Copies of this chain bind each other. A is one copy, B any other.
Amino acid sequence: MPANLARNRIDTRSKVLEAALHLFAGGGYFNTSVHDIQREAQVSIGSIYHHFGDKEGVARALYTELLEQTDGELKRINERGGSAQERCRAAVALLFEMTEAEPKSMQFILHAQHREFLPNEPPICSSAPFRRMREMVEAGIQSGEIRPLDAMIAAACLFGGPIRLIHLRLDGVLAAPLQEHLETAWDCAWRAVAV
């Protein structure tokens, strides 16, 4: 396959996804028309339908792409080894960094109600990244770092505070970058479940 052909294909595809992310994160899926995406991406509407089938296909591609990316980062944290505490803390740090570096992505992953426009997707909390975070908590329970609670409950209690802060930041309620709150937030989170 000629390189420039592949390049063009990728370019169009990613131009669409980038535009869609921008618009979905800003006004939401339903307030964004395919015509809006087309205009923003500087691509014809025919191309969008050619690549993604329908509007839902754009959202689905974006969703799975972002989740896979996030899951990859979490996987790397796990592979670095260390205690459950260190891994969980690194996960929170990662989410905070992502929120500051890619607020739109975070907005779309965490803040949107996907089931309203991707009816076949399972709830976000049973997606790969969330499962992986739960696994970290399970490991912590096994190793005795975390109190012997139901893993699902413990994960909610551990990550609930940090996730709440991400929501507040995305809503513009918190003025300062999340990193400035990392130490405090992590301290609180860990106290909640530590032995």
By a beta-carbon cutoff of 8 Å, the part of chain A in contact with chain B is 27-31, 111-113, 115-116, 123, 125-126, 149-150, 152-154, 156-165, 167-168, 171-174, 181, 184-185, 188-189, 191-193
Provide 18 A-B residue pairs closer than 8 Å at the C-beta atoms, listed in order of the A residue.
A112-B113, A123-B173, A125-B167, A126-B173, A150-B181, A152-B168, A153-B165, A153-B185, A154-B188, A156-B161, A157-B164, A160-B160, A160-B162, A161-B161, A164-B164, A188-B192, A188-B193, A191-B191
- Asked if A165 contacts B173 (CB within 8 A), the reply is no
Other A-B pairs, 18, CB within 8 Å; known A28-B113, A157-B185: A31-B116, A123-B172, A125-B171, A125-B173, A126-B173, A149-B184, A150-B181, A150-B184, A153-B165, A153-B185, A156-B161, A156-B164, A157-B188, A160-B161, A160-B162, A160-B165, A161-B192, A163-B164
Q: Which 6 A-B pairs have the closest CB atoms?
A: A160-B164, A160-B161, A157-B188, A28-B116, A30-B30, A160-B160
State the number of copies, please: 2
Distance of A182 from chain B, by nearest CB (Å): 11
Residues in B neighbouring A153, C-beta threshold 8 A:
165, 181, 184-185, 188
Of the candidates B113, B125, B152, B174, the one whose C-beta lies within 8 Å of that of A152 is B174
